[in-house]
Amino acid sequence: MRGLGWITAINIVLVLLAINSVASAESRYKWNTLDWLESLNITHELHNVTTEDGYQLELQRLPRKGAHSVLLVHGLLGSSLEWVLLGPDRSLAFQLHKRGYDVWLANLRGTAPFGRRHVELTDVMAEFWRFSFHEHGAYDLPAIIDHMAQVTGRESELDGHQDEQGEKEPPRQVLLIGHSQAFNAFLVLLSMHPRFNQRIRLIQAMAPLARLHRQVQFDSTQVRHLMKFVKKRQKVNNFEIFPPGYLRKICQSKSDVCEYYAKQFIGSAKNNKKLLEPFNYEYLLQGGSAREIKHLQQIWKSGDFIAYDYGPVENMQIYHGVEALGYNISQITVPIILYFGETDAIATPSGVHTIYARMLKSVKSVRRIESAKFNHLDFLISADVKTLVNDKLIGQMEQFLEGRLPYVIE
């Protein structure tokens, strides 16, 4: 009897523990970046940045004064949540900060809840949603990087850092890290505002989307379906393609549909549970404008890295020609490291290799994530992200900073 009593007690404890961990996982799915930082009691700063065209973006910073500044930039449908949601031991933001870096987390226009304000517009207006990676690179990133320079410049003045002539130091260079569509925004930034070539020390791009033509692992019918869906939402004035929680709801009620599209667009995963995991996070896959998707579709179709195609009439007014302009990427000089996953359906291995082989001269290294199966979102939520991605990224960055980055094309 006594033995049985013990077993019952242990069982009850186990059940309670299980319920508890399910409940806390459930609540974590609704956390945004700030919820994570606050609940982990991590020292952080918040910064408001206003872009030249009036968007008010909120950044988070894990400050380390005087250290190298790293800016982490999320991809399509992402937010700064990408860099914290695996907690203190496995998330890139925390790993970098522990290693001694000054870490900044970008939230580009459109992300909820940190990229949804504008000096005049509100996020229910069509006008608010007229952006793609072009505006992320042409307006958001310059404002963010200039703001970082202002803040770190002021801190260094306060610390009395001046050169012999008593002049101010030049703005501190930034180490950029981005996932997915963020790389497209980096290229727009550097070709539209070449002065940033001197301001950025290194770009590390995970699963970059700059070359999609004949590369993606889904076919034109599937792209048509996606575009039809986008159009339908626009028709009923849903300018935001996936509001926070939208995908979570769909994936709970129609898990087979969700699974099908997840497989097509995000690639294969070891098991279905893992495949659907990213959809659970309310603030992970959310936001997005129709134009973002459309612009990517145009790159996919044309095979060139072109500015947004408005159609011949509007193109004439904007670009003074019937066709959309190609970005002048030949002037990009910032060293670049690219990372690809073997089974990424969007940033495919050969797509990423063409960025190196045909597009940009300043690629210093192309690295494969060492796993037979690694897809687009695994860069953010894979259980092995620390060893497979983050440690590698930090290692490469440090080799680069010490001037001994090996030239490796994998």
Which residues contact ligand NAG by CB under 6 A? 41, 46-48, 58, 328, 330-331
Q: Known catalytic residue: 47?
A: no
When the beta carbons of 335 and 349 are compared against ligand NAG, the nearer one is 335
Nearest alpha-carbon partner for 191 in 314, 307, 51: 307
Closest approach of ligand NAG to the CB of residue 300, in Å: 23
**What is the DSSP-derived secondary structure letter of residue 185?**
H
When the beta carbons of 16 and 322 are compared against ligand NAG, the nearer one is 322
Closest approach of ligand NAG to the CB of residue 56, in Å: 7
Closest approach of ligand NAG to the CB of residue 117, in Å: 7
Region for residue 328 given its phi and psi (left: phi exceeds 0; alpha: psi -120 to 50; beta: otherwise): beta
Closest approach of ligand NAG to the CB of residue 40, in Å: 9
H/E stretch holding 319: helix 312-319
Whether the Cβ atoms of residue 71 and residue 174 lie closer than 8 Å to each other: yes
Give dist(CA 202, CA 71) in Å, integer. 11
User: What is the chain's length?
Assistant: 410
Q: Return the sign of the alpha-carbon dihedral for residues 398, 404, 409, 410.
A: negative
When the beta carbons of 50 and 238 are compared against ligand NAG, the nearer one is 50
Nearest alpha-carbon partner for 210 in 279, 275, 137: 137
Whether the Cβ atoms of residue 64 and residue 98 lie closer than 8 Å to each other: no
When the beta carbons of 222 and 333 are compared against ligand NAG, the nearer one is 333
When the beta carbons of 27 and 328 are compared against ligand NAG, the nearer one is 328
When the beta carbons of 58 and 309 are compared against ligand NAG, the nearer one is 58
Catalytic position from the list 344, 353, 378, 382:
344
Whether the Cβ atoms of residue 209 and residue 183 lie closer than 8 Å to each other: yes
Q: Mutual orientation of helices 272-280 and 255-266 as an angle, nearest 10°?
A: 100
Closest approach of ligand NAG to the CB of residue 327, in Å: 9
Closest approach of ligand NAG to the CB of residue 275, in Å: 35
Q: Helical H runs in 57-100?
A: 92-98
Burial of 4 (0-12, 13-18, 19+ CB in 10 A): exposed
Q: Mutual orientation of helices 272-280 and 246-253 as an angle, nearest 10°?
A: 140
Q: Known catalytic residue: 289?
A: no
Give dist(CA 231, CA 157) in Å, integer. 51
When the beta carbons of 41 and 237 are compared against ligand NAG, the nearer one is 41
**What is the DSSP-derived secondary structure letter of residue 388?**
I
H/E stretch holding 9: helix 2-28
Catalytic position from the list 180, 191, 365, 382:
180
Closest approach of ligand NAG to the CB of residue 194, in Å: 7
Give dist(CA 265, CA 361) in Å, integer. 29
Whether the Cβ atoms of residue 332 and residue 192 lie closer than 8 Å to each other: no
Q: Known catalytic residue: 180?
A: yes
Q: Which residue has the tokens 């299980």?
A: 18
Active site residues: 180, 344, 376
